[in-house]
Amino acid sequence: MSASAPGLFPMFVKLQGRECLVVGGGMIAESKVQSLLAAGARVRLVAPRVTTALAEHARLSSITWVAREFEVADLAGVFLVIAATNNDEVNELVFRQADRRNVLCNAVDQPPRCHFYFPAVVRRGHLQIAVSTSGLSPALAQRIRKDLEHQFGAEYEEWLERLGRVREWLMRKDRDPERRKLLLHRLASREAFERARRRRSAKTSIRGAVA
């Protein structure tokens, strides 16, 4: 990595209740709005025209749609903004003004105009595995995501829920932090997962035979 391209700081951000702005009303904007809503963000959309799905979100009051071109005042009180228009000048304006106001900005498919990137994500319930190439090759990030989807199947969602319940119980009952840590690591091991998966498969087979 060159000195002119510092490394990214990876983190998962809680957007629940935070004001987020999306500029643009096309299919790309639609996908970004869906992601923000899934994270519990309060979404404001600025665009003269929007897709049918975005118009429906506005009708249901899931988002606030301002039906006009972007104005600098739209950035007031915003935690982050996504520039998702097909107009290069508008995206540049959004990024420049957001940068001046210390508002996090992502101009879709324009790495120089991004304070952050959307990673390729594998989701299995509360388990999220994110892959980033720092904007250099989204196609590679997508390929790696597909590989991880095969490696981490749907069964991880249930297993993680079980681990969470066990951890909560141990946090209440076991006052020895070192012993608790050792046990939790054993429970999260590959071997423990394989045993849990075999038991799950056996129960499924038994239910199928009975049925």
Closest CA to 98 of 84, 82, 87: 82
Residue 168 domain-assigned? yes
Q: How many domains does the chain have?
A: 3
Residue 10 domain-assigned? no
Q: 47 and 109: one domain?
A: yes
pTM: 0.81
Residue 9 domain-assigned? no
Q: 195 and 130: one domain?
A: no
How far apart are the C-alpha atoms of 134 and 119, rounded to whole Å? 9
Run of H or E including 72: none
SS3 44: strand
pLDDT at 173: 85
**Of 152, 175, 198, which closes a domain?**
152
Residue 95 domain-assigned? yes
Q: 108 and 39: one domain?
A: yes
CB 91 within 8 A of CB 83: yes
pLDDT at 3: 46
Range of the domain at 81: 19-117
Q: 67 and 102: one domain?
A: yes
Q: 125 and 188: one domain?
A: no
CA 125 vs. chain centroid, Å, equals 12
Q: 25 and 113: one domain?
A: yes
Residue 102 domain-assigned? yes
CA 181 vs. chain centroid, Å, equals 28
pLDDT at 176: 85
Q: 98 and 165: one domain?
A: no
Q: 45 and 135: one domain?
A: no
Torsion angle (degrees, nearest 10) of CA 36, 38, 39, 44: 30
How far apart are the C-alpha atoms of 84 and 88, rounded to whole Å? 10
Q: Which residues of the chain fall short of a pLDDT of 70?
A: 1-6, 202-211
Q: 70 and 137: one domain?
A: no
Sort strands 80-83 and 19-23 into parallel, antiparallel or unpaired. Answer: parallel
Q: 27 and 51: one domain?
A: yes
pLDDT at 205: 59
Residue 13 domain-assigned? no
Q: 164 and 183: one domain?
A: yes
pLDDT at 142: 93
pLDDT at 174: 75
**Of 95, 117, 139, which closes a domain?**
117
Q: 135 and 177: one domain?
A: no
Q: What is the distance between the terminal CA atoms of the chain, rounded to a whole angstrom?
A: 58
SS3 81: strand
Cα–Cα separations (whole angstroms), residue 200 to 151, 195, 196: 18, 9, 6
